[in-house]
Amino acid sequence: MDKILRIDMGAAGGPKASETPVGQYAGAAGRALTSAIVANEVDPLCHPLGADNKLVIAPGMLGGTIAAMSGRISVGCKSPLTGGIKEANAGGQAAQVMARLGYAAIVLEGKPKDDSLYKVVLNKDGVTISQDNSLKMLGNYDLVDKMKSQHGDKIACISIGPAGEMKMCAASVAFTDMELRPTRHAGRGGVGAVMGAKGVKVIVLDDTGMSMRPAKDPEKFRDANKAWVDGLKKHPVTGEGLPAYGTNVLTNVLNEAGAYPTKNFMFGRFDGCAKISGETQAATEVERGGSATHGCHRGCVIQCSGIYLNKDGHYLTKQPEYETVWAHGGNCGIDDLDAIAMLDRLDDDYGVDTIEMGATIAVAMEAGVAKFGDAQAAINLVHEVGKGTPLGRILGNGAGMTGKAFGIERVPVVKNQAMPAYDPRGVQGIGVTYATTPMGADHTAGYAVAANILKVGGFVDPLASEGQIELSRNLQIATAAVDSTGMCLFVAFAVLDQPETFQALIDMINAFYGLSLTADDVVALGKSVLKNEREFNKKAGFTAADDRLPAYFRKELLPPHNVVFTVTDEQLDSLFNW
């Protein structure tokens, strides 16, 4: 992982690839690297779909090693959805394969002269770029099948569906999983539209003939990884809850708390919740011969995913995540797991973010485009997006665009990005993160609950009046650091509760790179990432006014607890005072 592959899609005579040493970016990986390149090299005022934007794809620090849970991959650019900097990440196989091929990052630059589509193939012999217009408007599933027939089944693919080709703001970048299915998506912020603007339909990665990346101290690295795995397996969240029920285990609990956004954030509880809960989903998967326990990449020991079969016992999609089940389920008043699974499949195939898509359909439902609870209508709307009809073009550009098109005030976005599955009136601390993260409303921006273990920000009294702000700040710093390691964010629970597991993670990084990092260094890394991102957004024209929730969250009472968002603007503005 000592080189960067840059592909100038607008070069004279056609796309041109060059490999450069990591140079000034040495030591950076994952989100730290994507955000550094975007912040240094992209004009913050450029058009996100123009030649001056860059799409950066980077595995984490421990990508391509035997380290468990190190398979996350980051995608960065200027976002066409938010207009600010974006980092979206995903699981799947690509991070491991790309890292073993030696690439710290792939950077797509420039813009093709016409609307031709390109395929990029990377293997031990280098890079091949070929024009292939036969791929136009293929869904991700057909596309990957075609790549498999051409390049065999030892590959990993990074691709876009029709939504990316149509440069929709909800378009995702897909990554294949262990079964070579395009089920893992860097979903947020329209990163797929930027890949589409670069004219790249698919990047095929083949690490045949390459080896695992070697550690500086193999013995210590192996021992630390063992302690790491043991720690993850013994923790009740990472070793039991997530493997048994997946992330959808949250549905019942959020609903009980009255913080489950229902019917476009009008209510905090959904009557049909038990029909779409993680417990019901897991039982359905097992009863049909699928699986409720499955990893998204090799080396995953948490196994929070699953295999969802349809009523006839045929593969339909991977186990839909909590966010997806909520977005297409309760938020649209839909309590049919099979319909939700179909929507997940369509989102993956057309290549759109499930959160943005579900939030958008809910806004459309409030506008009367379809009725809340009408699952078939929701499926039809996603097909409109995939086909690129005029209505589909509106929906495919997200909740903000759809709200404007249909004259709806209740549009749950921050920086034009749709909110995820936690109502900020019920869980105010998450509202602080939604409002202030440079990414736009994003629950994963403040997700690394190990912040206190890392001693981010020194001692924080969580019960002090400033607690919400300080906790969110520290969570955002810790998350930026974890995103840079390439570790799945779910590791944070074992790190939170088991100091020896946190130590194992530090030991693993140190043994691999021959470093002597401390928790302070990890904190400094997280701060530097956020600083890059905040600076970029400031130059792009963002002000404090963009760090706000929509006004209705302060006015509309959320049943059943009848609460509003109460954190003041002054408190929000103090978040990045460190």
Partner 1 sequence: MDTQNLGDRAQVKLDLTCDAQILPPFFLLLQQGVRFEARVGATVEEFLCTQLGIERRYLKERINTIFLDGKPVDDAETAVIRDGSTLALSAALPGLVGAAFRKGGFYARLREGISHADEESKGAAGRGLVTVKLYNLVAKELGPQLLGTGVLVETDDLEQFFAGRPDGFWSRCRHAAVDDRVSSVSDLRQGVWWQRPALVRLTVSTVPAGEGPSAKPESP
List interacting residues with partner 1 (CB under 8 A): 235-237, 240-242, 244-245, 247, 249-250, 252-254, 256-259, 274, 277-280, 283, 287, 304, 322, 422, 425-430, 433, 443, 446-447, 449, 452, 462-463, 467-468, 471-472, 475, 490, 493, 496, 560-561, 563, 566
Residue 432, SS3? helix
Residues 68, 232 contacting (CB under 8 angstroms): yes
Rounded least distance, CB 290 to partner 1, Å: 14
Nearer to partner 1, 50 or 560 (CB): 560
How many whole angstroms separate alpha carbon 256 and alpha carbon 398? 29
Rounded least distance, CB 258 to partner 1, Å: 5
Polymer length of the chain: 578
Rounded least distance, CB 396 to partner 1, Å: 28
Nearer to partner 1, 237 or 408 (CB): 237
- In eight-state DSSP terms, residue 236 is I
Residue with tokens 């530097």, as numbered in its chain: 528
Rounded least distance, CB 249 to partner 1, Å: 5
Residue 497 contacts by C-beta under 8 Å, 6 or more apart in sequence?
A: 235
- Specify the DSSP element, H or E, that contains 536: helix 519-539
Nearer to partner 1, 42 or 482 (CB): 482
Rounded least distance, CB 559 to partner 1, Å: 10
Nearer to partner 1, 279 or 521 (CB): 279
Report strand pairing: 155-159 vs 103-109.
unpaired
Cα dihedral 86→87→88→92 (10° resolution)? 150
Nearer to partner 1, 235 or 527 (CB): 235
Nearer to partner 1, 140 or 428 (CB): 428
Rounded least distance, CB 233 to partner 1, Å: 14
- In eight-state DSSP terms, residue 558 is B
Residues 281, 212 contacting (CB under 8 angstroms): no
Residues 353, 170 contacting (CB under 8 angstroms): yes
Nearer to partner 1, 254 or 346 (CB): 254
Rounded least distance, CB 521 to partner 1, Å: 23
254 residue type, one letter: L
- In eight-state DSSP terms, residue 267 is B
**Exposure on the CB side of residue 300, measured as CA atoms within 13 A:** 27
